[in-house]
């Protein structure tokens, strides 16, 4: 019998109560207005004509790199020049929610070349991939040409074996982020398969933690050497569809952002080995009537924030840092795709929700917001996700 959350985490983690952490929805306090003295925000379009852009990253030189779900990379140079990046996506599996998804630059991107590899322009994508007739999800490592004209695969894949839903592409994840210790984190979806989130023999419905140089599990991952068939790469489990990973500067804290079924989109504070309580195994079916975090699961960890009912379809998240943000400094901002806009959460030092509000300048203006990302220049960059070639990359600054 495959190891499950009940077997591996029982007695390790304290049971958290959902109700104490809930914000939003029909059974929770109404969202507050922005804090007094909050800055007015200026929103400008950096790039248009995109189709389902999934992620954005900014290099130290100010260049912005954007990917699109159906395949393709575009660079916006500091002088505003837009450059299509030539890259091989011939094996891309793009179906439904799955395609070219998470994007991250190596923390050493643009610095002096690594003596061992000779690389200084390494970046990573998480994408659906088809090998013959079979499809899965892979993390691929690339290097970028100095002039941003060409990207070349250098580890193909860096991490493989992440399942995909080949019929519909449903719940493919997939977000990438670097932890404060340099580990590469990968948030995956459960593929809409009921057993996946609690099954530690599969990488679906998890957050993975890997060495970005090799793709191997780090030796202090919680299930390394467990001897029960658990995958060494797994850092946390019991997830439905991880759409965002946000690192809180200076704290070491990592938060996931997840879609709920018909209730309870969630933001979770991640802890090694923790079970976040999604267990839709209906005896061979995918039972989405169960709670997003099942309190009957031993050790299930409750959410920091939950939408309640109805859901708002939360997506990527990032923390705002820097004095320019004034009263917004330190907020976790999260893209919203159903009730469209940008959700702002104020958390205390322990990650407990203090208050929440919607950012007025982005409320129901640009449609579905997929990925808010804080740039190296301190500005907030946001991709929209409306489709039809009408999507844009936004730049948000405090006026």
Closest CA to 24 of 252, 305, 283: 305
pLDDT in tens, 170-181: 999 999 999 999
* pTM listed for this prediction: 0.92
**DSSP state, 138?**
E
Cβ–Cβ < 8 Å for 99, 170: no
Closest of 54, 48, 46, 57 to residue 70, by C-alpha: 54
CB count within 10 Å of CB 336 equals 26
- Report the distance separating Cα 157 and Cα 129, nearest Å: 10
Please give the pLDDT value at position 116: 67
Which residues share a beta bridge with 286?
281
Q: Find out whether the peptide bond into 174 is cis, omega within 30 degrees of 0.
A: yes
Phi, psi of 9 (to 5 degrees): -110, -5
As to burial, measured by CB atoms within 10 angstroms (0-12 exposed, 13-18 middle, 19+ buried), residue 288 is middle
pLDDT at 7 over 70: no
How many CB atoms lie under 10 A from the CB of residue 399? Answer: 8
Q: What is the pLDDT of residues 280-293, one digit of tens each?
A: 999 989 999 999 99
For residue 8, the surrounding DSSP H or E stretch is helix 5-9
Q: Residue 300 and residue 311: Cα distance in Å, rounded?
A: 21
Contacts of 80 (CB under 8 A, 6+ apart): none
pLDDT at 154 over 60: yes
Residue 5 has pLDDT above 80, yes or no: no
Q: Could you tell me the pLDDT band of residue 118, with boundaries at 50, 70 and 90?
A: low
Name 155's bridge partners.
Answer: 141
**For the chain, which domains are there?**
5-398 (2.120.10.30)
Contact 31, 356 (CB under 8 A): yes
A 10 A CB-CB count for 77 gives 15
Lowest mean pLDDT among 5-14, 75-84, 222-231: 5-14
Please give the Cα distance from 367 to 389 (Å, whole number).
13
């Amino acid at each position: 019998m495959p190891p499950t959350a009940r077997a591996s985490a029982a007695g390790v983690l304290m049971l958290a109560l959902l109700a104490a952490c809930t914000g939003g929805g029909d059974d929770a306090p109404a969202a507050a207005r922005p804090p007094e003295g909050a800055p007015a925000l200026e929103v400008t379009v950096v790039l248009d004509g995109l189709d389902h852009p999934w992620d954005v990253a900014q290099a130290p030189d100010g260049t912005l790199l954007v990917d699109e779900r159906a395949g393709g990379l575009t660079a916006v140079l500091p002088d505003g020049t837009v450059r299509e990046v030539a890259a091989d996506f011939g094996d891309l599996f793009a179906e439904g929610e799955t395609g070219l998804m998470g994007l991250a630059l190596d923390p050493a991107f643009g610095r002096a070349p690594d003596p061992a590899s000779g690389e200084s322009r390494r970046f990573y994508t998480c994408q659906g991939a088809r090998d013959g007739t079979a499809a899965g999800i892979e993390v691929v490592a690339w290097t970028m040409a100095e002039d941003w004209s060409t990207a070349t695969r250098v580890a193909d894949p860096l991490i493989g074996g992440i399942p995909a839903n080949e019929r519909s592409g449903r719940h493919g994840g997939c977000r990438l982020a670097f932890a404060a210790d340099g580990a590469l984190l990968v948030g995956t979806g459960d593929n809409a398969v009921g057993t996946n989130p609690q099954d530690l023999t599969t990488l679906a419905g998890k957050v993975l933690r890997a060495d970005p140089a090799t793709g191997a599990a780090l030796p202090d991952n919680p299930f390394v050497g467990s001897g029960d068939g658990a995958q060494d790469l797994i850092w946390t489990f019991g997830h439905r569809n991880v759409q965002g990973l946000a690192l809180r500067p200076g704290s070491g804290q990592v938060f996931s952002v997840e879609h709920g079924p018909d209730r309870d989109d969630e933001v979770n504070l991640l802890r090694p080995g923790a079970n976040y309580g999604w267990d839709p195994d209906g005896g061979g079916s995918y039972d989405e009537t169960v709670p997003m975090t099942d309190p009957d699961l031993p050790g299930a960890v409750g959410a920091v924030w939950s939408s309640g009912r109805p859901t708002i379809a939360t997506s990527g998240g990032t923390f705002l840092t820097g004095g320019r943000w004034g009263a917004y400094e330190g907020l976790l901002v999260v893209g919203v795709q159903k009730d469209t806009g940008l959700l702002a959460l104020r958390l205390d030092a322990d990650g407990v929700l203090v208050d929440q509000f919607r950012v007025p300048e982005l409320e129901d203006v640009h449609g579905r917001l997929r990925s808010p990302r804080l740039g190296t220049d301190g500005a907030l960059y946001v991709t929209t996700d409306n489709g039809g070639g009408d999507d844009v990359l936004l730049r948000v600054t405090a006026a």
